[in-house]
Structure 1
Amino acid sequence: MSVEIRPLVPEQAVEFLRIVPGYAGTPSWEPEPPAWHSGLGAAPRFDEPASSEDLVKAAAGLCDLDRARAAFVDGRLVGTSQMLSLEVTVPGAGPVPMGGLTAVGVLPTHRRRGLLRAMMRALVDDCHERGEALATLSAAEGRIYGRYGFGPATYQARWELDVAQAGRPYPHEQQGRIELVDAGAAKAVWASLHDQVRQHRVGEVSAHHGLWDGRAARTGAWQYLLHYDGSGTADGAAVYRVPWSPDPATAGTVEVDWLEAASAAAYTDVWAFLTGLDLTRRIVAGKRPVDEVLRWQLADPRALRITRQSDDLWVRLIDVPAALAHRTYAVEGSLVVEVTDPFCPWNQGLWHLEGGPDGAHCRRAPRSASADLSLGATTLGAVYLGGTPLGPLAAAGLIDEHTSGALGRATAMLTAPQAPHNAIGF
């Protein structure tokens, strides 16, 4: 058997997409409502493969094709993977370059042969050569990517709100202007709005090519809402619908597919509008932050009930010293950290991190130094954005404390005031 991992050429794009789960018709998530899904029922079905016409159209819109890595066995394309050139927002420093892993798939006839590992090797090496300190992904299965040094760093929630029980968000006086517009008008401001939001929301990612076009082209009775501040600048947006239901138990349900706001006033105004829609009994929202502010604006916080929570963005440090120096830290501190990383051996060893609110630097620790903490690459990825507490990981045996107080010091340095979150995927 001859195995090759090599870049894709444009003529192979359709063949490449036939293997990607979302196009091949194979399930990419469990049937019960996942955390990203705002609908009342199960997630959308993927039992019908994309048509040849759809594949040709999708292939024409592929970006970063030079970063795709395909597995060929005896000359036949049997595995797919790709990195997108994106940005992710890290604490204190704003957006930094990253590789976004996507389109991973292997034909069922060729699994358990090491093809995924070979493609991951090629993709991670490409990130390293490009100088990207970070790579991220969203995992369809939770047991696969830890072996390659990715750790779950952000989480997403699906929640339902009983409108009558909740009471309306405060303050009741609207602070801006809300308009319902068509998809084209909404799309015209989405990109700039998201760029505003992601400057400050840790974990947020830049939009990939075609995201906004795809969102505006969706079928169904979607409503497009824009919020404007006092100067007339769009600082909030939402996409929602109120689907008709023959079942009294689900009638009057608002499904919120996406909502972003660049200011606290816009956030409150938009949710006040949605909770005040006539004949509304319930709101369902997916892919929401686990620390949703709306809960604390309700007369009865219990009215907002999380029905599903799952990991979202998994982070991998490609270059440990560069990644640790990219971000800032909540308090001044110094740590010697021992990293175990067999998949990226250049990261192995002792690293001396000194950081605080104004910046950080990280360098190789001298051989005479002793580690304050030891952890693996997967655990380091999980805690990097500040949303995963270190204490439970230490209790699980994933972090070893060698210097008394080092775990508390690391916790104080890494902790973020707001849970990292990404409102869009890739």
Structure 2
Amino acid sequence: MSQGDWEQWYKTLDVAFGGVAEAPEERELWRDLTECERSIGAWDGETCVGTAGAFSFRMSVPGGALVDTAGVTMVGVAATHRRRGLLTAMMRRQLDDVRERGEAVAVLTASEPEIYGRFGYGAGSFHHRMEIDTTRVGLTVPPGTDDVRLRYETPAKALPACEAVYARRVPGRPGLMARRPGWERLVTLDPPADRNGASPQQCVLAERDGEVVGFAFYAVKPEWDAQGPKGTVKVQDVEALDPAAYAALWRFLFDIDLTSTVLALNRPVDDPVAQLVTNVRRCDLRTRESLYVRLVDVGAALEARTYQTPVDVVLDVEDAFCPWNQGRWRLTGDTKGASCKRVDDSAPADLALAVRELGSLYLGGVPLTQLAAAGRVRELRQGAVAEAGLAFGSAVAPWLSHGF
């Protein structure tokens, strides 16, 4: 797609997602971030009727490596042109392009999860939504919390220091994206039209010995009733380099005057705050899937990550949409590295699974035992599920901290 086609292309996407116009600030950001050379348009004459794009990311995987990854985005088909194979054609073109670029993995967030399984994407990470009643839930903080200094800063001025903290966190959690230039603008995107009665974005920095060791971005939505104030703290992001700084930031968010609720829409499923609270039942934790993962090059993708325990298994992989992955692969690896090479289809296989299931396993957030119990992975050698399941796990839950 050329830059000159962007307006019509993006308008087609807007209509496919309901036709409600975004705030001008958000539209401008996505225009600046769109990689037109990676964007696909389906045209009926002079009318754009289908869209698909990709961002060039580097994603953290188990072991801490950053893997070149296609971030699939902006996928839509005009309602007038559904059921004509346009989506399949765009997915075909896109995955061929991803392969040619040498990206072993593609990821996306799905508006309708049932769509993308047939193209080999499996749910690979999850997140929690938390709504905490701070009038009935307290925090038990670790030693050193009181030594952390907190101070307000404007989001724009705080951003460089916050990005430095985020960058240090990326290798330690699978699913996080190393932010390329320009993506830091997403962190402070705060269109007034989208605030829904909340304050402008606010930022608090956590410091120790003059160094920024954590941050919180949030907004406050005031509300009152006959009994008094009951405002909501809307948490946008919290990151810290150590437990005390993390606890200090959450204690601050819990204690903001005139509020009684802390609402966080996107937190990792192993967020330590669940262990800091005095009553987790009052936190209303809800889980949903987040990042969908597709292995475009099975061998390269499985070699890019490490494994928690030694593993030596032959995988019989089904992949009709990307037939270059179809067949048997021998995976050997441990905490230091891995090898994944194609073997002859006559070689005995230990596990049989589709590439969709490999996508779910890839970041370590979905247990192999769960997939096997659901019948989505077949054990061909006794004990292979338990052996490989331990290896594929991750000590830290994968998490996507922001959308794309």
Please confirm whether the aligned pair reaches a TM-score higher than 0.5, indicating the same fold: yes
Residue 299 of structure 1 corresponds to which residue in structure 2? 278
Give, in angstroms, the shift of residue 208 of structure 1.
5.7
Does 1:114 find its partner at 2:92?
Answer: no
Residues 349-406 of structure 1: CA deviation (Å, up to 9, x unaligned):
0000000011000101234411100000111101111110112211221100010000
Does 1:281 find its partner at 2:253?
Answer: no
Contact 1:224–1:237, Cα closer than 8 Å, also in 2:
no
Contact 1:168–1:276, Cα closer than 8 Å, also in 2:
no
**Given the alignment, which residue of 5, 8, 29 partners 1:12?**
5
Letter of the 1:197 counterpart: R
State the distance in 2 between where 1:57 and 1:80 align: 18
Superposed, 1:143-162 pairs within 5 Å as: 143-162=114-133
Does 1:184 find its partner at 2:156?
Answer: yes
State the distance in 2 between where 1:208 and 1:18 align: 26
Structure 2 unmatched ranges of 5 or more:
none
Residues 253-305 of structure 1: CA deviation (Å, up to 9, x unaligned):
21112222233222111111111223332211111111221111123332322
Superposed, 1:61-210 pairs within 5 Å as: 61-171=32-142, 173-207=145-179, 210=182
Residue aligned with 1:363, SS? strand
Residue 352 of structure 1 corresponds to which residue in structure 2? 330
CA RMSD for the aligned pairs? 2.2
Q: CA separation of 1:142/1:60 partners in 2, compared to 1, >3 Å: closer, same or farther?
A: closer
Residue 245 of structure 2 corresponds to which residue in structure 1? 266
Residues 42-71 of structure 1: CA deviation (Å, up to 9, x unaligned):
xxxxx63358x7798457514321000111
Residue 292 of structure 2 corresponds to which residue in structure 1? 314
Q: CA separation of 1:73/1:248 partners in 2, compared to 1, >3 Å: closer, same or farther?
A: farther
Give the total of aligned pairs. Answer: 396
Residue 5 of structure 1 corresponds to which residue in structure 2? none
State the distance in 2 between where 1:277 and 1:101 align: 38
Q: CA separation of 1:156/1:248 partners in 2, compared to 1, >3 Å: closer, same or farther?
A: farther
State the distance in 2 between where 1:418 and 1:214 align: 25
Does 1:396 find its partner at 2:374?
Answer: yes
Contact 2:16–2:76, Cα closer than 8 Å, also in 1:
no
State the distance in 2 between where 1:25 and 1:314 align: 21
State the distance in 2 between where 1:281 and 1:108 align: 43
Q: CA separation of 1:56/1:215 partners in 2, compared to 1, >3 Å: closer, same or farther?
A: closer
Letter of the 2:12 counterpart: I
Residue aligned with 1:61, SS? helix
State the distance in 1 between where 2:124 and 2:226 align: 39
Residue aligned with 1:383, SS? helix
Residue aligned with 2:54, SS? strand
Q: CA separation of 1:109/1:54 partners in 2, compared to 1, >3 Å: closer, same or farther?
A: farther
TM-score if structure 2 supplies the norm length?
Answer: 0.92
State the distance in 1 between where 2:30 and 2:276 align: 45
State the distance in 2 between where 1:371 and 1:75 align: 51
